[in-house]
Structure formats: structure tokens, C-alpha cells
Amino acid sequence: MADRLSDPIGRLMGLRYKSHPWHGVFIGKDAPENVVAFIEVVPTDTVKYEIDKESGFLKLDRPQKYSNVVPALYGFIPQTLCGDQVGNFCMTKSGKTGIKGDGDPMDICVLTEKTIAHGDILVDARPIGGFRMIDGNEADDKIIAVLSNDVVYSEYKDLSDLPDIVVERLKHYFLT
């Protein structure tokens, strides 16, 4: 995919047509240290949006449960897949069996002190850790990142550096 994006014809097609956020957007030249993230949901959203895998458009997935809203920008990392490799890694680390990847791109939460009003955007982010999640025998890991050059969060280099309350809010969102 990256070859097509660097091809002159491929770049010209991108000017005429919107690239599919999962397959048509470059993950970033410094991945995995720094990645591009496609943001689907922001903290002010009272509904959860999800990428339509076929069209690349955002579609309404469901209302957020109760008063639970995502505490960070939430989306996925383009050109990634939570597939067999992630499922096998999850089994190795968790000691559980029968786990497979969920078949979706890798999920990412991007922490920022800025208010970003809507999703359907690309942001540059630096991963600092993650949560291993299993949903119905499917690996559904969450990468935790900070917005590149964020005035407050860019100082954090590892998930363990974050204030406990930030980590607890993220855990609460995913466990409810």
C-alpha cells in the first residue's frame, strides 16, 4: 500500500478521491514510534462512530452507554490489523487459549489537553503503552498514545508515567 501512495499516479488519485482511512492512509514514516491515527470518536460524542470497512465512511455504531464517554480521542491506526499474530501474542501473554484477532485495525486512544470538536480526522501520535483486551475470545487491544507536540501530554513517555486517574478513566471506559 505504501508503494501506491508514493507512486505519482497514486498521489494524483488521492487528490480526486478521498483515501480509505484504513487502507489508503500512510501509517507514518516513523512507525511504530510515531504513528498517524484516524480519529472516529472524540470525548464530546454521546454516540460511538465506527469506520464502515467497505466504504471508509464513519457510521453510527451505537449510543454511548449511560454517561460513559470516551476520555480521549479514539480511533485506529491505518494499515494495521488485529489478526492472527495479535491473537497468538494475546494467548501467549494471557495464558488463555482460543483467542483470535478481531479482524479490525488496531484501536488507539490519543491523549491531548486540547478540545477537538469532531472525529473523521488524522492526527500524529506517539504510542506510550496499551491495554490487552479480550472481547468474546477475540483480542481487542487498545494502544494508548499522546498527541504529538501536545503541551501537557507530550512529556509522558510510558503508560506508567501517566497520573493514575487518567489510566483509571481509560480502564473504566473500556470495562463498562
User: Does 118 reside within a domain?
Assistant: yes
The domain containing residue 69 runs over which residues? Answer: 20-175
Do 71 and 170 touch, CB atoms closer than 8 A?
A: yes
Tell me if 11 is assigned to some domain: no
pLDDT tens-digit map of 100-136: 999 999 999 999 999 999 999 999 999 999 999 999 9
**Domain annotation covers residue 10:** no
Residue bearing the bigger pLDDT, 13 or 159: 159
Write out the three cell numbers for 1: 500500500
Convert the pLDDT of each residue in 40-68 to its tens digit.
999 988 888 999 998 899 999 888 776 67
CATH number, domain containing residue 104: 3.90.80.10
- The answer to whether position 51 is within a domain reads yes
The amino acid at residue 123 is: V
The answer to whether residue 1 scores a pLDDT higher than 60 is no
Which one has a higher pLDDT value, 21 or 12? 21
Q: Where are the beta strands (DSSP E) in the chain?
A: 35-41, 47-51, 58-63, 73-76, 100-101, 107-111, 121-131, 138-139, 142-147
Q: Which residues of 66-91 are buried (b: 16+ CB within 10 A; e: fewer)?
A: eeebbbbbbbbbbbbebeeebbeebb
Q: Give ∠ CA 57-120-12 in degrees, rounded to 5.
A: 75
Residue 7 placed within a domain: no
Q: What percent of the chain has pLDDT over 70?
A: 91
Instruction: Report if residue 149 sits inside a domain.
Output: yes
Instruction: Name the residue among 93, 104, 116 with its Cα closest to residue 50.
Output: 104
Q: Is residue 15 part of a domain?
A: no
Numbers of helices and strands, H then E, in the chain = 4, 9
Based on the structure, what is the number of domains in the chain? 1
CB contact burial 136-154 (16+ within 10 A = b; e otherwise): eebbbbbbbbbbbebeebe
In this prediction, what percent of the chain has a pLDDT beyond 90? 73
Q: What angle do CA 65, 68, 73 make, to 5 degrees?
A: 115
